[in-house]
Structure 1
């Protein structure tokens, strides 16, 4: 059984005149100890998805339909009181800005002890010892001293380590990390990502990393899910997504990385901008920015199809799969190449995916 199973999830925002869809037919699963990442530009729906899993969507947002199961138990219909036993204890969350997450008028230790005692029967001294042990686990020097300090007395990287330590306090099954390195410099980013990776591996904790940076994702995630305008457009093994992106949007994200541009030249970019919720185009939402747009892209949404390596929602890939399927009839059964490998080789030869 999968640890987390999300099926046909739809999240809307209810306004006076209309309902706006923020997430549309989201499907994915997460195994014990697995590390996956959600990638996309701002407005793709990544953070909304993270909040939906722990039912932190507040009005006017709401889960319209779909299923979110943790170890087979449905979460989407639980009340806030019931979800308090899930948040922090079974599913922990690391937010973007640690300074906004930590209470500035309480010491680090007070906040950690409060989190422990709200979910367990540990005494104050036992909770303190556990908190100090977790601070040491995230490689904070002199954890006994940091325990008594206020958030403003710590550096940005140190505060992020404290947030990770708080997430680990109750041995959660899943950690959702929402842009955990956005406010940090490059060196500290690398340290935090390696720390998250090792902690998840050592404790068999599953990780959901939310990021806009495929470079960050490539260091941590085993599987990557690319989102655009509230939908999943591509998902598969991270190495395959990085080395052979199939969807034009994924290709654009990779080409926009600084290392993909020549020194002294302008950085590559995807023309246009992410559509707003009330201005999502008909058909494939990416067609207004896609260099390979076809007429049918403007009329209907492509299905997500498995191409032998990853799942992709793109008519261009769908047409290529049909072409390969037609060509495969030329082979006798057992004599032809593996469909997935054949698709990859043809794709690379054509150079159009």
Structure 2
């Protein structure tokens, strides 16, 4: 049994104009110690997926169908009390902006100790000892001093390390990291990602990394899942997707990496933008931006096909696979 298994997940938002689908037909699993990258542009549904797993969706969002199984328990059906025993305890989430995550009127130590006391029956002395231990794990210099400081007294990189330390407080089985390096400069980004990778490997923690950067995914994860307009369009081993992307959207993301451009020329980009949830195109949602779109792409939602080790939702890929599988007839003269 997989540690986490998501089956046919569908998330909707109730608007005045009617319900819109934010996530459609989401299926994947996460094993203990596995590292999964979730990639896509803004609006693809990556963060909504992370929030859905922990049932943190705020109204008007709601889980409309499917299952989110953690060790066989469906998180979508648990009571608030049961969820509190898992959320932040067995499954932790690291959010994009540490200044929005940390309480500005409480010291770092107060926030860490309160988190421990909420989940464990231990003394404040033991809670402080554990908190200092976690600060040392994420290489915070002078942890005793930082323990008594407020978030605004720390740098961006230091705050993000604090958030990671809080995520590790309860020794979780899964960490969901939602764009954990967005607000940081490039050198600090590399340090934070190296730190997360080291901690996950050392503690055998499963990592679900949500990002728009395929470059980061290629360095950190073993499996990758590319999302577009609320649907998974390609899913498989990271190395295979990076080296031989099948879906035109994944190819576009790869070509948009700065290192793929010719020096002195404009960077490559995917034309157009992500469609709004209220106006997702019929058929393949990517068809208005796709250079290979066919008539079937504009009318029929593509089914998943297996290409190598990857699962791909693309009519063009399905057609190529069918052509390659067709028996070749020899012409007799």
| TM-score, normalising length: structure 1 | 0.92
Identify unmatched segments of 5+ residues in structure 1.
331-353
1:11-50 residue CA offsets vs partner (Å, 9 max, x unmatched) = 0001123100000000000000000010000000000000
Q: How does 1:201-216 map to 2 (within 5 A)?
A: 201-216=201-216
Q: Which residue of 2 aligns with 1:193?
A: 193
Aligned: 1:76 with 2:76: yes
Task: Quote the Cα distance in structure 1 between the aligned partners of 2:58 and 2:85.
Answer: 18
Task: Quote the Cα distance in structure 2 between the aligned partners of 1:283 and 1:7.
Answer: 22
Q: Which residue of 2 aligns with 1:264?
A: 264
Q: Which residue of 1 aligns with 2:299?
A: 299
Task: Quote the Cα distance in structure 2 between the aligned partners of 1:187 and 1:56.
Answer: 31
Judged with a 3 Å threshold, the aligned counterparts in structure 2 of structure 1 residues 168 and 218 are, in CA distance, closer, same or farther, namely: same
SS of the equivalent of 1:288 reads: helix
Q: Which residue of 1 aligns with 2:218?
A: 218
Q: Which residue of 1 aligns with 2:227?
A: 227
Task: Quote the Cα distance in structure 1 between the aligned partners of 2:306 and 2:261.
Answer: 31
Q: Which runs of 4+ in 1 moved over 3 A?
A: 327-330
**CA-CA distance at 1:327 after TM superposition:** 3.9
How many positions carry a matched residue from both structures?
A: 330
Task: Quote the Cα distance in structure 1 between the aligned partners of 2:219 and 2:107.
Answer: 32
Q: Which residue of 2 aligns with 1:138?
A: 138
**CA-CA distance at 1:262 after TM superposition:** 1.2
Q: How does 1:316-327 map to 2 (within 5 A)?
A: 316-327=316-327
Judged with a 3 Å threshold, the aligned counterparts in structure 2 of structure 1 residues 118 and 288 are, in CA distance, closer, same or farther, namely: same
**CA-CA distance at 1:80 after TM superposition:** 2.3
**CA-CA distance at 1:105 after TM superposition:** 0.5
Task: Quote the Cα distance in structure 2 between the aligned partners of 1:140 and 1:301.
Answer: 49
**CA-CA distance at 1:307 after TM superposition:** 1.4
Judged with a 3 Å threshold, the aligned counterparts in structure 2 of structure 1 residues 166 and 329 are, in CA distance, closer, same or farther, namely: farther
Task: Quote the Cα distance in structure 2 between the aligned partners of 1:307 and 1:327.
Answer: 18
Q: Which residue of 2 aligns with 1:58?
A: 58
Aligned: 1:67 with 2:67: yes
Task: Quote the Cα distance in structure 2 between the aligned partners of 1:213 and 1:25.
Answer: 23
Q: Which residue of 1 aligns with 2:115?
A: 115
SS of the equivalent of 2:37 reads: strand
**CA-CA distance at 1:73 after TM superposition:** 0.9
Task: Quote the Cα distance in structure 2 between the aligned partners of 1:272 and 1:304.
Answer: 24
Aligned: 1:237 with 2:237: yes
1:42-91 residue CA offsets vs partner (Å, 9 max, x unmatched) = 00000000000000001100000000000111101123232111111010
SS of the equivalent of 1:112 reads: helix
**CA-CA distance at 1:329 after TM superposition:** 8.7
Q: Which residue of 2 aligns with 1:342?
A: none
1:259-298 residue CA offsets vs partner (Å, 9 max, x unmatched) = 1111111110000000000010000000000000000000
Q: Which residue of 1 aligns with 2:162?
A: 162
Task: Quote the Cα distance in structure 2 between the aligned partners of 1:101 and 1:219.
Answer: 26
Judged with a 3 Å threshold, the aligned counterparts in structure 2 of structure 1 residues 328 and 35 are, in CA distance, closer, same or farther, namely: farther
Aligned: 1:11 with 2:4: no
Task: Quote the Cα distance in structure 1 between the aligned partners of 2:99 and 2:329.
Answer: 60
| TM-score, normalising length: structure 2 | 0.98
SS of the equivalent of 1:270 reads: coil
The CA RMSD measured in Å over matched residues stands at 1.0
SS of the equivalent of 2:51 reads: helix
Task: Quote the Cα distance in structure 2 between the aligned partners of 1:137 and 1:69.
Answer: 30
Task: Quote the Cα distance in structure 2 between the aligned partners of 1:214 and 1:280.
Answer: 24
Task: Quote the Cα distance in structure 1 between the aligned partners of 2:140 and 2:28.
Answer: 35
Identify unmatched segments of 5+ residues in structure 2.
none
**CA-CA distance at 1:258 after TM superposition:** 0.7
SS of the equivalent of 1:32 reads: coil
Q: Which residue of 2 aligns with 1:21?
A: 21
Task: Quote the Cα distance in structure 2 between the aligned partners of 1:328 and 1:237.
Answer: 31
